[in-house]
Structure 1
Amino acid sequence: MLCLFALLYYLWHLLGVFCVETDEIKSVSVMEGESVTLNTDVNVTQRHKILWKFGDRGLLIALLDDNEVSLFNGTEGQFRDRLQLDHQTGSLTIRNVTTTDSGLYELNIKGRTGDRVKKFNVTVYSHLFIPVISRDSSQCSSSSSSQQNCSLLCSVVNESAVTLSWFKGNSLLSSISVSNISFSLSLPLEVEYQDNNNYSCVINNPIRNQTTHLDINELCQPCSSPVHCCGFTETVIRLAGSVLVGVATVAVLVYDIRSRRSYPETREQTPRADEYDDVA
Structure 2
Amino acid sequence: MKMFLPVLLCLCFWRLDGGFVSVKEGESVSLNSDLTEMKDDDVIQWWFGDENTVIAEINVTADRITVYDDVLDGRFRDRLKLDNQTGSLTITNTRTEHAGDYHLQINRKIKSFRIFVIVPESVMKGESVSLKSPLTEMKDYDVIQWRFEITLIAEINKRADRITVYDDVLDGRFRDRLKLDNQTGSLTITNTTTEHAGVYELQINSESKRFWLAVFDEVKSVSVKEGDSVSLNSNLTEMKEDEYYWVQWRFENTLIAEIDKWSDRITVYDDVLDGRFRDRLKLDNQTGSLTITNTTTEHAGDYKLPMITRRLSSKVFRVSVYDSVHCCGPTEAVIRLVLSALVGVATVIIVVYEIISRRAERDQAHIHTSGSIEI
Give TM-score, length-normalised by structure 1: 0.46
Structure ranking higher in helix proportion: 1
Q: Which has the larger radius of gyration?
A: 1
